[in-house]
Structure 1
């Protein structure tokens, strides 16, 4: 269960009061205390850094409320200041900058109600590069065959220790029932075939990880990472043609690691009625103008390393047919109206509503398939990512 960051405090309160209940209860927030929520991860990458500032929301709310109009600045102990400005709900640094070693960085926020928030000074942890990302075919503990993707790194000085990982996966999709012809409706009881666009045949999708993936190497004899970060079943269509994964490895300090571990434990508790009590979500940001004002979040200064790999389905499963998420069955329509066995009206409806696409026909007998099988743009994008390598 993935829970939005700014609902975790509400969840903790509900868990406390609901523990021991056995009746079904609507999860509504009867008491609500507003607080700002800060999501700030600044890295050693030279870029426009981003900080997200929202407000706590009730558990039943479906959208986030952005903290607008705040003055946001990051300062270091070398008298450098980096101003942030609001852009589409996120505060973005006006100029690119990177977090440098041996400097202390502090986040300052002043909201429109005059309250001032400040983080503790933070220093960039050790920079540790990813050495490799390795895919291999394995059988997991559930007896499923698939591709296990491991990330590897090593710090011989044993100064990294606390790691957080994110990944972004992209994959190529080829519509398995794409046709050179497209069926269009030309009248109440008439259709026509026109040339189909090749732009509907090949698509690309990208998804980011949502889990909080953590690792510490304190109990290991070496500060060495060999982490299974992603397992994909062999019948999963996302690896059916060509697949890519970008892995980011963050090295954090102990306080940041503990903060993210608590967040992970809360999000993974499975239910707000769980007896599991993950602990207090304590960050490094305080309201210095009013000690009674609460704030949730962590100003995370971290080093990051990233690496991307590609592989084809045939690289991992030679000679096997590519999987697809839809069975892609051929649906037969007799294009006539009013007679026995006629289903022209149904066919026209499915075409007009973009529910089905043309595959082939013999006279008035048409074979159609679900739109996802014949037109990948019905659920994905035909724009090739700039990083894509075929």
Structure 2
């Protein structure tokens, strides 16, 4: 499944806009195709190797999006500095670490291998406003109990005003039916063998989807109190330990208006079916040697980050944790039909276990060779998450 974040939204909008409409609803096939360069470029005040993503517009029926390769990419500033970028794993990464600083104008330049050239308008760094806090607390939303994660931010100079947010959440997953032995069928006959502890504890991760924008322009103060994430108290991702890493970008008015238009267009579905299609969404990038089309935005913005952790027990002391990602009720097979039934006194011998229906051995009744089963993720967390502990993780 594709991750429809900011970049994916932009690619889909461009793909929808650049083909002619059809009289029939299906299949959606491009009748006329225009080559549009799609750009995502955030230059921030973080001292790091900055990144730029370049992608070719895709036909609507295409499954994958192809990167624009072989381009010359660099950023210049009005102090005479030039920062070159090189290709690295489908994106362009600056050769050296650098950061945007106040009172300096920056321009992005792109020269493609087929001779097209583009440049952004000069952009300056926005107000540097750190987040005050990221707090998780019990909250109710739409009559659902859960955990609300809120961001607080305040700019006493009232010059920030326009904000964009992203997050990445990480959570600990412990297989509830993990056992020190497992069933190995790789050699033909089922054999009980020692199980690896690497399948007991895992870590899942998800990134935010879409655009989260806040505008304090109509408020008395440039103060943010924003619910960035709400998690149902029955969601398994908070069963053990949960962490969220939040990024706050302070945007210029022009950048905010660009993202806001992009967001409204995507949410409305107007890119395909609405008669009010806005056409190609233009940002602050233009062709410098012709009329080649380009979409995207060169965003020079300050960023503030914060990570928090909490355990389920911290917020819900003494309460039974949420159900696991899958149903982990033990079951076994009737000897006559091999149909899965709830576990009572039903048992089966390993030697007679039918091929093709094995999920995961839960390990009850080993001495009498009784075999009980659960769905594989219940005993092996690597089926739904990674067993590689993140370098940032703190227990």
Fold-level match, TM-score > 0.5? Answer: yes
- Give every structure 1 segment of 4 or more consecutive aligned residues whose post-TM-superposition deviation is greater than 6 Å: 334-338
- Cα distance 1:326–1:110, how it changes in 2: closer, same or farther (>3 A)? same
**Distance apart, 1:186 and its partner CA:** 6.9
- Cα distance 1:277–1:245, how it changes in 2: closer, same or farther (>3 A)? farther
Q: How does 1:50-61 map to 2 (within 5 A)?
A: 50-61=51-62
SS of residue paired to 1:267: helix
Give the aligned partner of residue 80 of structure 1: 81
Give the aligned partner of residue 166 of structure 1: 166
CA distance in 1, matches of 2:145, 2:197: 34
Would the aligned equivalents of 2:271 and 2:277 in 1 still touch at CA under 8 Å? no
CA distance in 1, matches of 2:217, 2:84: 37
SS of residue paired to 1:315: helix
RMSD: 2.5
Give the aligned partner of residue 343 of structure 2: none
**Distance apart, 1:331 and its partner CA:** 1.6
List runs of 5+ in structure 2 lacking aligned partners.
Answer: 339-346
Q: How does 1:1-390 map to 2 (within 5 A)?
A: 2=4, 3-12=8-17, 17=21, 24-141=25-142, 143-185=143-185, 188=188, 190-270=189-269, 274-275=273-274, 277=276, 279=278, 281-290=281-290, 292-323=291-322, 324-333=324-333, 347-351=354-358, 355-362=359-366, 363-390=368-395
SS of residue paired to 1:385: coil
Would the aligned equivalents of 2:332 and 2:373 in 1 still touch at CA under 8 Å? yes
Would the aligned equivalents of 2:348 and 2:371 in 1 still touch at CA under 8 Å? no
- Cα distance 1:186–1:116, how it changes in 2: closer, same or farther (>3 A)? closer
Would the aligned equivalents of 2:110 and 2:119 in 1 still touch at CA under 8 Å? yes
- Cα distance 1:67–1:332, how it changes in 2: closer, same or farther (>3 A)? same
**Distance apart, 1:58 and its partner CA:** 1.1
Would the aligned equivalents of 2:330 and 2:362 in 1 still touch at CA under 8 Å? no
SS of residue paired to 1:360: coil
- Cα distance 1:117–1:34, how it changes in 2: closer, same or farther (>3 A)? same
**Distance apart, 1:30 and its partner CA:** 1.4
SS of residue paired to 2:356: helix
CA distance in 1, matches of 2:275, 2:202: 43
**Cα displacement string for residues 171-227 of structure 1 (whole angstroms, at most 9, x for unaligned residues):** 000001111211123754x32222211111110111111211001100100000100
**Which TM-score applies when normalising by structure 2?**
0.90
**Distance apart, 1:273 and its partner CA:** 5.3
SS of residue paired to 1:314: helix
SS of residue paired to 1:167: strand
CA distance in 2, matches of 1:117, 1:161: 30
CA distance in 1, matches of 2:160, 2:210: 21
**Which TM-score applies when normalising by structure 1?**
0.91
**Distance apart, 1:17 and its partner CA:** 4.4
CA distance in 2, matches of 1:293, 1:152: 42
- Cα distance 1:283–1:208, how it changes in 2: closer, same or farther (>3 A)? same
**Distance apart, 1:159 and its partner CA:** 0.3
Would the aligned equivalents of 1:170 and 1:206 in 2 still touch at CA under 8 Å? yes
Would the aligned equivalents of 1:164 and 1:251 in 2 still touch at CA under 8 Å? yes
SS of residue paired to 1:264: helix
Moved more, 280-289 or 156-165: 280-289
- Cα distance 1:35–1:24, how it changes in 2: closer, same or farther (>3 A)? closer
Question: Matched residue pairs, number?
Answer: 379
SS of residue paired to 2:226: strand
CA distance in 1, matches of 2:374, 2:42: 46
Would the aligned equivalents of 2:170 and 2:242 in 1 still touch at CA under 8 Å? yes
SS of residue paired to 1:60: coil
